Chain A
Amino acid sequence: MTRHAAFTNIWLATLLVLPQLLLVFVFFYWPTAEALYWAFTLEQPFGGSNQWVGLLNFTTVFRDPKYWNSVTVSVIFALATTALILAVSLGLALLVDRRLPGHQIYSFGYFIPYAMAAPAAGLAFRFIFSPNAGFVAAINTWFPNLWNPATDGVDAMILIILCQAWKSIGYSFVFFLAALQSIPRPLLEASAMDGAGILRRMRDVQVPLVMPTLFFLIIINLTDSFVDSFGIVDITTHGGPARATDLMVYKIYFDGFKAQDYSLAAAESIVLMVLVVGLTFIQFRYIERRVHYT
């Protein structure tokens, strides 16, 4: 009798895995290979001739101050959204974990925004935060011109950060809640017996014990902010004003689809992919290994 569960029939195993492999190949490896090829050539919109240009696309990308602006903006966006998401979702999870009456309703309610499509969320935020007509317009009646994401780059950035955070908090919340609920109750009861108050228990027992989840979520949220923020930007700011919210993923979309410069967009997406792969690598290599209970 074998001690671990494994397929002895390799063909059956292959057959079972094949559909998934096929999907990954068709929707990931193939396009990636194509993008890699385009990144080293100059591709005409309709196909036709296609010339090898070596690193030209990459030097064009890296020499372009607009691209570095886009990188800066993306990093600010990723750090700010991640910090906001983690702080709020951990707070909410700690509260819901106290299992006060009605906590199921809260945990359901907090998760719902995650199920909403990004453009829908973006549209709602555009209306709510519109400087003349939205709910937030009230601010401008008290302090004229304080809030105007249409002309002020900082305001526009705040708008997309809030929108992305609002949408993603539910996801992190579920992870935190699960992590909190897996903390053995006796630990909390023991600290309560020792006289630790609610806040003290949160700070010294619960939060340290969910550290692995926290680090996992840092990586997931950073990655998500880099690659999954397109819908919100496209609906709320179009990357403006004056490129203040021109995130890397939005720039790829504009250069590739609007401007039909496939090669430039391919080079940009390769750079973004390397960045995301790097983040994932850090997660697996270092964080997963080093952060443990004890």
Chain B
Amino acid sequence: MNRLLLAAASLGALALAAAPAHADRIKFDFWYGNTGAIAEVVQKHCDLFNASQDKYEAVCTGQGGYDKAEQNTIAAYRANQQPAIVQIYDAGTVNFMLSGAIVPAVQFAKDHGINVDWDSYFGGIKNYYATSKGEMWSFPYNSSTAMFYWNKDAWAKIGKTEAPKTWSEYAADLKALKAAGVSCGLALDYDTWTGLEQFSAANDLPIASMNNGYDGLGAELLFNKTAFVDHMKDYKAWLDAGYAELHTEQTGKDIDQAFADGTCASIFESIADFRNFKKTATGFNWGVAMLPLLDGKERKNTLVGGASLWVMKGKTDQEYEAAAAFLNYVTAPGTGQKYIVENTGYIPVRADGLELLNQEGFYQKPENAGRELAIASLTASNGTPVTRGIRLGNYTSIRKALKSELEAAFAGQKDVQVAIDDAVKNGNEILRRYEQTFQGAQLP
């Protein structure tokens, strides 16, 4: 008898535990690619959304990396198991635009009553996620751009209190730093995001024909004929002279660690890492500045990094209703942009977010000094034909091709010009193959 009672009681307890706390909520899936500390921030964003109302529930799942988020979404879409919303990085934009698997952001906002002033997105951000007609197809979520991080104590040794404004000034600084006993002035890896893309944008240099691919899939790479080649020759010369050092995972510490522990006096890195450095680079004074410019150039906007939120096709109306509420929540100035900016190094994506942060004096606080420069860098111009972004198919492979060639060039196996020519030749083959795969498809 007792045993029966016990069994009944435990069954009852089980049933209680198994019953969902909010059985009547409408659930939808959101997949994100961030990892580490930023993944926790995203996960908490979901919790906040779920706690803010009792109609909808976001089921948020980290995919263990931006590239994995894209791969998994593609696999899931083919099996008709896709999430309602997915966070996709800048390099995946073309694939998603051509996929036929998404609901464009403008369309989704109109259908589900999300009130968005599309023009309030900062130009550098808007252009990247917009079609050639200027319609945004995804919702920018976590946006960054490249900055120059410099060790002020090291620069003080050469009597300077300002970050270099031009590349020639920077080259002179590196030489002086070496002479002043700073063993490594610049930590480099083979990153093409800062080296090629951001450098080219700030100086208004093309990366590919047809306005970096915005005008069609027939674009050809051009960066072997621009000042980028000389820029890489400078990198090589600095490495050879001992002004700069290579730091990658394989050498023991990456460039972030090399900067944070004081090994190297400067790096080019995303503003997203600003808050990490506040925690890790505590042994010296440091600051951020906009990327140096080539002599005689006028500054143009740099490109947006980070990721945006895409709405996938094939979900129910209920799920879309829930997804719309979520998108509203995470893009709003207070619950969305301010939350992201305060908890990460990213920047607000719209004027309303920036306004709110300014009202609260966010950028006046000493611990945030310099972060406003990222916005200044992204909005330095309103998007010239070649600073809107990069719209090239299979851009991941092109980045890898260039990286491999730079590895050969920096190791002295190849001349820098020859290496970059080879990367362009290889990259153009990749582009032609992509064009053929999407035969007849038109970039929106």
Contacts and interface: CB of A to CB of B under 8 A. Distances in A.
Interface of A: 42-49, 51, 60, 64, 66, 126, 130-134, 137, 148-153, 156, 236-237, 240-243, 254-255, 257-261, 263-264
Contacts of B433: 60, 261, 264
A241 B74 contact: no
Interface string B97-108: 011110000000
B250 interface: yes
Most B-side CB within 10 Å, residue of A64, A130, A150: A150
Contact of B407 (A43, A45, A241): A241
Interface in B70-117: 70-71, 74, 77-78, 95, 98-101
A267 to B, nearest CB: 12
Main SS of chain B's interface residues? helix
Contact of B246 (A150, A242, A255): A150
Interface stretch (B44-52, B149-157, B287-295, B397-405): B397-405
Contacts of B394: 259-261
B67 interface: yes
Nearest to A255: B397
Nearest to A261: B394
A49 to B, nearest CB: 8
Interface residues of B, number: 40
A260 B74 CA distance: 9
Contacts of A46: 74, 77-78, 95, 99-101
Contacts of A137: 252
Given A66-B426, A242-B411, A259-B396, A150 B95 contact: no
A42 B436 contact: yes
A130 B77 contact: no
Contact of B74 (A45, A237, A261): A45
Given A49-B440, A150-B250, A243-B404, 6 more contacts: A151-B407, A242-B405, A242-B408, A257-B71, A259-B430, A260-B396
A241 B408 CA distance: 7
Given A60-B433, A240-B407, A241-B411, A126 B250 contact: yes
A150 B187 CA distance: 14
B249 interface: yes
A45 B96 CA distance: 9
Nearest to A159: B250
Contact of B413 (A131, A133, A242, A257): A242
A132 B253 contact: yes
Contacts of A236: 250
B251 A130 contact: yes
A285 B407 CA distance: 44
B78 to A, nearest CB: 5
Contacts of B407: 151, 240-242
Contact of B252 (A131, A259, A264): A131
Contacts of B250: 126, 130, 149-150, 156, 236-237, 240
Contact of A133 (B253, B396, B408): B253
A240 B250 CA distance: 10
A151 B439 CA distance: 39
Contacts of B408: 241-242
A47 B404 contact: no
A259 B397 contact: yes
A74 B150 CA distance: 42
A255 B252 CA distance: 27
B61 interface: no
B53 interface: no
A152 B71 contact: no
A182 to B, nearest CB: 44
A258 B99 contact: no
Given A46-B101, A60-B433, A259-B394, A131 B404 contact: no
Contacts of B74: 45-46, 260
Contacts of B430: 259
Contacts of B439: 42, 49, 51
